[in-house]
Structure 1
């Protein structure tokens, strides 16, 4: 089993390092890391990790800025990641942390680490322990901030 980690130099936090660390805590798997300049480069990086480097799943990490142009580019990158999933028939866990989700650098770093680690665990569960995710269905899980919890009827 091999898990790919695609990250960027554009991000202001080294989220890839957190994912690699968390993967090592949760499973004995091979890890392949591929760093690209920006988040719009992630779709091809993920596709290459799957097709050329034999990854079973990829965690794609990006940090869009808070301007409208950044949000549009993040949307385009997200569409590219979805297309790469369909082209390869493999999951790509998109982990974007938008700069405007945090009020300051300290909160941004905290959020990026927490979201990266939680999604690393999701990737392990998705390929090695899918029953864990099935048990969490409908529980309002959130990566980064506190879970929302299930809706009350």
Structure 2
């Protein structure tokens, strides 16, 4: 049985880990291992530990960077660390960040955080069980959260 790691943060303004676990359980029979850390810069090591110490086959890194310039820098650093953790462990780590300033108000922010988390959880299931579905979706402008961009007509 596949094991999915969920790395989430206390800085996030909604419980992204709970949402991801709910969506994963709706779509597949999986073991789930959760590791919660304070903020996005703590996610790379959490993800690496989930792979190396807990035996996860794939990990979701869930976080909500703030809207200040320093938050954007921290999110970039966290992303670099997540990429490095992927390369060090040869394991997919699906980064699910929702920046606080992506939405016009708190209601839209909560909606976006839930939708992006659920759609990426569905991508995890596709990566594990339905690779052919991802291949069919290649080049179709899929987006997680807001509306898909769509393919460019050639």
Tell me the SS of whatever aligns to 2:79: helix
SS of aligned partner of 2:81? helix
After superposition, the C-alpha distances for 1:50-73 in whole angstroms (9 at most, x for unaligned) are 000000000000100111100000
Q: Deviations over 1:112-132 (max 9, x none)?
A: 000000000001111211111
TM-score, normalised by the number of residues in structure 2 = 0.98
Q: Number of matched residues?
A: 153
What is the CA RMSD across the aligned residues, in angstroms? 0.5
Alignment correspondent of 1:21: 22
Structure 1 unmatched ranges of 5 or more: none
The 5 A counterparts of 1:28-39 are 28-39=29-40
Name the counterpart of 1:86.
87
Residue by residue over 1:76-97, the C-alpha shift from the partner in whole angstroms, topping out at 9 and shown as x without a partner, is 0000000000000000000000
TM-score (norm 1): 0.99
Structure 2's unaligned 5+ residue stretches are none
Aligned to 1:134: 135
Alpha-carbon distance in structure 1 between the residues aligned to 2:15 and 2:77: 22
Look up the SS of the partner of 2:147 in the other structure: coil
Question: Equivalent residue of 1:109, what SS?
Answer: helix
